[in-house]
Amino acid sequence: MILLDGLATSKQIKQEIAAEVRQLQAQGHRVPHLAAVLIGENGASLTYVNAKVKACEEVGFQSTLVQRSADISEVDLLKLVDELNNNPDIDGYIIQLPLPKHINEHRVLLAIHPEKDVDGFHPENVGRMALGLPCYLPATPAGILELLKRYQVPTAGKHCVVIGRSHIVGLPMSILLQRNANPGNCTVTITHSKTTNLPELCREADIIVAALGKPEFLTADMVKEGAAVIDVGITRVPDSSKKSGFRLAGDVDFAGVSPKCSFITPVPGGVGPMTIVSLLMNTLEACKRRI
């Protein structure tokens, strides 16, 4: 069993990005600049945004955290989006979700200029991904592809079962893995809450991407000997043995499943760190396009 070490890989990629940033500077260019918009005081959102800002610092990017209070009007938020679209100093930006309930999330995400949409959430980027055109890939699927590529996990002709059809992980993952590309060329089955025979489907899979958000859902009896397993889930589970009172659990029962696997991602330290690195890669790409 080979551990797909997202933490180590993300560190390696950060070094590669930092080297590219130094090269850009040496050529007289400015460094990539990511802005992150945070609305309100959601603790988890603040943690995520801070991690992104910190990652920018590590690789030598400029970053700007734009904070607004939770009572911002949709009109004012759309004005802010317009400013960010037109600010030539900012290569790309993200709007940390969720947004307060009085704001139409779709309307705000649609207002982001596709060329600055480094989260890859805008329909134009999603469509370009499906059509195999240059685009910003959504961060988590892009991070998984990068892991598969660097560990040379075989994908062509393999049967991949994706569990979950979310717009940010399951669906794009299913689209990306079926493409005529490397990684890619998988036969892909996308499954969800209406799927009736998930255990049987999983047992036939060469690759399983578990992205449903149910702690330790995928158990050893659902996994074929030699399968590659990608665990996208990360949930806080109460654990009285921990000082914090909880532990982080993936969607995969790692202890049971990992002995059967050819490759598997741990949680934490698997897909999670790769997600932030994808955002950095998209921002670097956005900067290079502007140069």
Query: Active-site residues: which are they?
Result: 52, 96, 119
- Closest distance between a second copy and the C-beta of residue 260, in Å? 21
Burial label for 291, CB within 10 Å (0-12, 13-18, 19+), is exposed
- Closest distance between a second copy and the C-beta of residue 165, in Å? 6
* Binding window for a second copy (CB under 8 A); candidates: 56-64, 123-131, 211-219, 262-270: 123-131
- Closest distance between a second copy and the C-beta of residue 157, in Å? 5
- Closest distance between a second copy and the C-beta of residue 152, in Å? 17
Which among 217, 206, 220, 232 is positioned nearest to 257, based on CA atoms?
220
Residue 20 binding a second copy, by CB under 8 A? no
Among 2, 156, 237, 291, binds a second copy (CB under 8 A): 156
* CA separation for the pair 107, 244 (Å, rounded): 38
* Binding window for a second copy (CB under 8 A); candidates: 87-95, 173-181, 220-228, 229-237: 173-181
Residue 189 binding a second copy, by CB under 8 A? yes
End-to-end CA distance of the chain: 43
Residue 199 binding a second copy, by CB under 8 A? no
Per DSSP, the three-state class of 79 is helix
* CA separation for the pair 181, 176 (Å, rounded): 8
The residues, any chain, with a CB within 8 Å of residue 189's CB and separated by 6 or more, are 159, 160, 161, 162, 201, 205
Per DSSP, the three-state class of 36 is strand
**The two structure tokens encoding residue 24:** 């850009």
Among 53, 65, 201, 220, binds a second copy (CB under 8 A): 201
Return the number of the residue (93 or 121) whose C-beta is nearest a second copy.
121
- Closest distance between a second copy and the C-beta of residue 82, in Å? 19
* Binding window for a second copy (CB under 8 A); candidates: 77-85, 180-188, 259-267, 270-278: 180-188
Pairing of strands 263-264, 228-231: parallel
* CA separation for the pair 273, 76 (Å, rounded): 33
Residue 145 binding a second copy, by CB under 8 A? no
Residue 85 binding a second copy, by CB under 8 A? no
CA 17-176-147 angle, to 5 degrees, is 40
Residue 107 binding a second copy, by CB under 8 A? no
Among 123, 199, 226, 259, binds a second copy (CB under 8 A): 123
Residue 282 binding a second copy, by CB under 8 A? no
Which among 84, 125, 85, 99 is positioned nearest to 278, based on CA atoms?
125
Residues that bind a second copy (CB under 8 A): 106, 122-133, 135, 156-157, 159, 165, 167, 171, 174-175, 178-180, 185-192, 194-197, 201
